[in-house]
């Protein structure tokens, strides 16, 4: 084979290979069937200004969200600057700073829609074809960089999907591109936590009630309100101002020792929506053994079992420790240090919970359902006969008019000669019956001996 012929054959094979790749890519909707690294861990951003970023704007086709770096922490602009959960924000920035390219994708701009990389601000782009754009700005609002997130890449698992619909797949990466360039890359991150819903970014830290000393419910109907209190952490609750007829059911109130031990928030109401929320339906007043005082007010719950909640908290923290009469210098130093650490922890808790005042939170109703009881619902229930079952009556006692009982049978008349009540006699067991003489005796068949043979 000549040199020219060999060159022509190589060129023809290269052209055929290119055509096959294009047809495969177009037929698979822009997906990549096999992912292999050929970039030696080259980063998407060679220089990502992570330390200069003070604002992150997340924009999709139909929604947007802004995270701003405040004086103390990151904040959610769509919730009037309510604190954001710092860990997801910082984690996102670090993830992008260290984002490696798995595979470059050769694709024209006309094919961006296949990978979900169209401009979300364009009127011509559809929601399923538009990218989610992350724009990073400095403290002055100047754009520093941006990253466009396209469709998620799903890798085949090589087995049928147990739910039907072909082969099973696993989310393994995402198509991305620079905001200022046309290069498209496949990365190993799915960015599943990048969302435009504000509640997803809120700091869910909430107040936590510990060591309840007394708990009181206050509503519009004072007659059904109650107050429970106990002398020590190991004691059970007693009912304050109980009447002689009231007997508290210890089983019904034992769980109230852990009331509001781990409440959680779903969202924060703002603006006009906040003004519509009424939290004056029920208030729980709680005092703890650490001298924290809480007023937790809630409103009516909706069809989704959600209700509004507001909070007031105060505390009387100890200023100094009363030393024992026989403490050594070493013991005093140790106890003073423990006392100072405890007071510091309580002070930090108080400062954190005071920041929650003035807000109206959306919470799930289960955090108050178990303690929203009337006074009578806390008492022991009287033992009553089940419906349709007669009450037990002592033998010989007749209760006229008792429902469900048949009329009593008349007592037998006494014998004429009886003058005193005699104890009932126990009948003797019947004697065995002896067959009469005229009864035929059992016949025993006779057996004749065999005759002797001569």
Q: pLDDT tens digits for 379-412?
A: 998 754 455 555 555 555 555 555 555 555 555 5
Rounded Cα distance between 199 and 267, Å, is: 5
Residue 435 belongs to a domain = no
Q: pLDDT tens digits for 212-245?
A: 999 999 999 999 999 999 999 999 999 999 999 9
**Within this chain, do residues 132 and 220 fall inside the same structural domain, yes or no?**
no
Taking alpha carbons only, the member of 58, 131, 53 closest to residue 94 is 53
Rounded Cα distance between 375 and 373, Å, is: 7
Q: Is the confidence at residue 453, as pLDDT, over 60?
A: no
Q: Is the confidence at residue 420, as pLDDT, over 50?
A: no
Mean pLDDT of 21-32: 40
**Within this chain, do residues 126 and 225 fall inside the same structural domain, yes or no?**
no
pLDDT at 35: 39
pLDDT at 181: 85
**Within this chain, do residues 64 and 167 fall inside the same structural domain, yes or no?**
yes
**Within this chain, do residues 368 and 225 fall inside the same structural domain, yes or no?**
yes
Q: Which of 20-34, 198-212, 273-287, 362-376 has the lowest mean pLDDT?
A: 20-34
**Within this chain, do residues 222 and 191 fall inside the same structural domain, yes or no?**
no
**Within this chain, do residues 185 and 75 fall inside the same structural domain, yes or no?**
yes
Q: pLDDT tens digits for 62-91?
A: 999 999 999 889 999 999 999 999 999 999
**Within this chain, do residues 219 and 149 fall inside the same structural domain, yes or no?**
no
**Within this chain, do residues 241 and 193 fall inside the same structural domain, yes or no?**
no
Which structural domain, as residue segments, surrounds residue 233? 212-318+345-378
144, 166, 197: which is the final residue of a domain?
Answer: 197
pLDDT band at 166 (very low <50, low <70, confident <90, very high): confident
Q: Which of 106-120, 276-290, 411-425 has the lowest mean pLDDT?
A: 411-425
Q: Are the C-beta atoms of residues 184 and 105 closer than 8 Å to each other? A: yes
Angle at 44 between CA 43 and CA 45, to 5 degrees: 90
pLDDT cut 70: percent of the chain above it:
75
- In Å, how far from its chain's centre is CA 226? 30
Domain count, the chain: 2
Report which of residues 307 and 162 the model is more confident about: 307
**Within this chain, do residues 221 and 294 fall inside the same structural domain, yes or no?**
yes
**Within this chain, do residues 216 and 193 fall inside the same structural domain, yes or no?**
no
Q: Which of 2-16, 67-81, 166-180 has the lowest mean pLDDT?
A: 2-16
Q: Is the confidence at residue 137, as pLDDT, over 80?
A: yes
pLDDT at 364: 96
Residues for the chain: how many in total?
454
pLDDT at 308: 98
**Within this chain, do residues 90 and 153 fall inside the same structural domain, yes or no?**
yes
Average pLDDT, the chain: 83
Give residues with Cβ within 8 angstroms of 149, minimum separation 6. Answer: 131, 132, 133, 134, 174, 175, 176, 191, 194
Residue 244 belongs to a domain = yes
* Six token digits for residue 369: 């359902």
Residue 252 belongs to a domain = yes
197, 222, 255: which is the final residue of a domain?
Answer: 197
pLDDT at 40: 62
* Six token digits for residue 90: 């910082």
Residue 354 belongs to a domain = yes
197, 226, 247: which is the final residue of a domain?
Answer: 197
Residue 147 belongs to a domain = yes
**Within this chain, do residues 89 and 186 fall inside the same structural domain, yes or no?**
yes
């Amino acid at each position: 084979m000549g040199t020219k012929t060999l060159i022509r054959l190589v060129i023809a094979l290269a052209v055929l290979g290119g055509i096959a790749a294009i047809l495969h890519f177009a037929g698979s909707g822009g997906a990549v069937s096999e992912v292999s690294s050929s970039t030696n861990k080259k980063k998407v951003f060679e220089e990502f200004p992570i330390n200069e970023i003070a604002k992150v704007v997340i924009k999709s086709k139909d929604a947007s969200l802004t995270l701003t770096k405040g004086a103390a922490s990151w904040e959610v602009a769509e919730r009037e600057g309510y604190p954001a959960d710092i860990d997801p924000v910082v984690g996102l920035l670090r993830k992008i700073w260290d984002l490696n390219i798995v595979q470059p994708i050769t694709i024209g701009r006309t094919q961006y829609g296949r990978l979900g990389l169209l401009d979300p601000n364009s009127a011509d782009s559809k929601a399923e074809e538009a990218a989610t754009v992350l724009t990073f700005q400095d403290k002055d609002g100047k754009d520093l960089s941006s990253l466009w997130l396209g469709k998620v890449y799903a890798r085949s698992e090589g087995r049928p999907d147990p739910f039907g619909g072909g082969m099973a797949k696993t989310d393994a990466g995402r198509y991305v591109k620079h905001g200022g360039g046309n290069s498209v890359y496949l990365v190993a991150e799915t960015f599943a936590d990048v969302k435009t819903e504000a509640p997803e970014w809120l700091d869910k830290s909430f107040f936590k009630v510990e060591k309840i000393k007394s708990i009181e419910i206050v509503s519009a109907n004072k007659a059904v309100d109650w107050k429970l209190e106990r002398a020590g952490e190991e004691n059970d609750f007693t009912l304050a101002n109980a009447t002689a007829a009231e007997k508290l059911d210890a089983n019904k109130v034992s769980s109230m020792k852990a009331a509001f031990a781990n409440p959680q928030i779903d969202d924060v109401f703002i603006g006009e929506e906040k003004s519509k929320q009424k939290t004056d339906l029920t208030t729980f007043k709680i005092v703890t053994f650490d001298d924290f005082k809480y007023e937790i007010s809630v409103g009516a719950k909706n069809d989704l079992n959600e209700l509004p909640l507001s909070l007031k908290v105060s505390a009387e923290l100890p200023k100094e420790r009363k030393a024992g009469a026989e403490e050594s210098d070493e013991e005093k130093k140790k106890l003073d240090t423990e006392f100072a650490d405890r007071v510091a922890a309580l002070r930090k808790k108080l400062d954190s919970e005071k920041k929650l005042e003035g807000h109206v939170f959306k919470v799930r109703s289960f955090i108050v359902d178990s303690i929203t009881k009337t006074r009578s619902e806390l008492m022991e229930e009287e033992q009553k006969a089940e419906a349709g079952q007669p009450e037990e009556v002592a033998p010989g006692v007749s209760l006229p008019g008792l429902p469900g009982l048949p009329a009593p049978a008349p007592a037998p008349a006494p014998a004429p000669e009886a003058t005193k009540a005699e104890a009932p006699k126990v009948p003797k067991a019947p004697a065995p019956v002896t067959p009469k003489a005229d009864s035929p005796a059992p016949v025993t068949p006779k057996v004749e001996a065999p005759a002797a043979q001569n």
